[in-house]
Amino acid sequence: MRSVEEQQARVAAAAVAPRPVRVAIAESQGLMCAEEVVTERPMPGFDQAAIDGYAVRSVDVLSVGDGAGEISLPVMGSIEAGARTPSRLQPRQAARVQTGAPMPTLADAVLPLRWTDGGESRVRILRSVRSGAYVRRTGDDVQPGDVAVRAGTIIGPAQVGLLAAVGRDRVLVHPRPRLSVMCVGGELVDVSRTPGTGQVYDVNSYALAAAGRDAGAEVNRVGIISTDPRELRETVEGQVNRNEIVVIAGAVGGAAAESVRTVLAELGEMEVARIAMHPGSVQGFGQLGRDRVPVFLLPANPVSALVVFEVMVRPLIRLSLGKRQPMRRVVQARTLAPISSVAGRTGYLRGQLMRDQDTGEYLVQALGGAPGASTHLLATLAEANCLVVIPSEVDEVRTGETVDVAFLAQRG
């Protein structure tokens, strides 16, 4: 029986990031930047007012508050944001300015409105101002030659804004890996049909496709596929040729799964092994097609399939996205009730993670009861916000003991 870590290492070795592509910045959010974005011009590109007020020469208002009496200056005009006509301030003059307006020549500070009487033709000054106050100088944010967004940065709202600010409408990124999800099983029917005797809805293709999107992949849900050898080969071969990762649920265990593996073996290397984990011990992994595309064979049980996806497939997607840390965040939590696991296998048990408001300590309640009794209960997985990770050498965790807990996607 192979350890979880050994299997994860085999999977990670197959990770190949898709070639970088250039996309519109509006489509780049969440992707990793694949280039050093170097600015060509300063930002801001001109001296501008940082606040509504009056542009002045600071030397003209230095005496305010020094007992020299009241100071008032004539207002030479008003400058709006976006004004394109240059203006010049004469000594002992002020200009009304809006936030973002270009500063007139000779002005070196902006008096906030609250420091004046708000006059239109003449303004009374209530406080002095130092040189450079409330002015955004040319290049304060970015100078030509500065790197605005570095390669390897995950592009978020701030990066999108910065790209726009430096005049970039497209950016080179690592694209989302394409993931194909399909299921096999004579008992399966699509959710659009009414199942007959002995039939069940196809849960896996929908659940696993959603898990793929959550991990960051571009997903193609193929749905239920035929197990006829010729049709199966054509379908799988077609998906392998147009995707970076392929997942087939229901392809381990039973005579039908054996015939599936026989067909897949014609397309490349495929191994079904027993991994020291539960649920989902029996699973398959191989590399098929001319490009040796990673292909996973998952159990038919929806909970087991989702757990195997979380432990094996999701890290591969994250690596293909260029993420340096492909695994979920793990914290330590104190158990609120005993937890049973299977000796010799790492347990990935669904649970609810909470936090003590007084101490800040993490607390966890395992869901589903004893191992093997309820691994089929998809409803409990839907209620879970974490996976409780029980080491393979532990078969019983007592109340109050500390365990590792992996965060699942946030709900709400």
pLDDT above 90: residue 22: yes
* CB of 3 closer than 8 Å to CB of 307: no
| Domain extents in the chain | 4-18+176-321, 23-41+151-174, 48-136, 330-407
pLDDT in tens, 273-306: 999 999 999 999 999 999 999 999 999 999 999 9
Q: Which of 256, 290, 288, 296 is nearest to 272 (CA)?
A: 296
Which carries the bigger pLDDT value, residue 140 or residue 370? 140
Q: What are the angstrom distances between the C-alpha of 320 and each of 11, 19, 28?
A: 11, 10, 16
Instruction: Please tell me the distance from the alpha carbon of residue 115 to that of residue 13, in angstroms, as a whole number.
Output: 65
Q: What percent of the chain has pLDDT over 70?
A: 94
Instruction: Please tell me the distance from the alpha carbon of residue 373 to that of residue 375, in angstroms, as a whole number.
Output: 6
Choose which CATH entry (2.60.40.290, 3.40.1550.10, 3.10.250.10, 2.170.190.11) describes domain 48-136: 2.170.190.11
* CB of 101 closer than 8 Å to CB of 50: no
- Contacts of residue 391, defined as CB under 8 A and 6 or more positions apart, other chains included, come to 346
The class that CATH gives domain 330-407 is mainly beta
Give kind and range of the element (H or E) at residue 205.
helix 204-215
pLDDT mean over 98-110: 94
Q: Which amino acid is at 251?
A: A
- In angstroms, what is the C-alpha Rg of the chain? 31
pLDDT mean over 170-186: 92
The confidence score (pLDDT) of residue 262 equals: 87
pLDDT-derived band at 259 (thresholds 50, 70, 90) equals confident
Instruction: Please tell me the distance from the alpha carbon of residue 72 to that of residue 52, in angstroms, as a whole number.
Output: 18
Please tell me the pTM assigned to this model: 0.75
pLDDT-derived band at 200 (thresholds 50, 70, 90) equals confident
- Which CATH number is 4-18+176-321 given? 3.40.980.10
pLDDT above 80: residue 172: yes
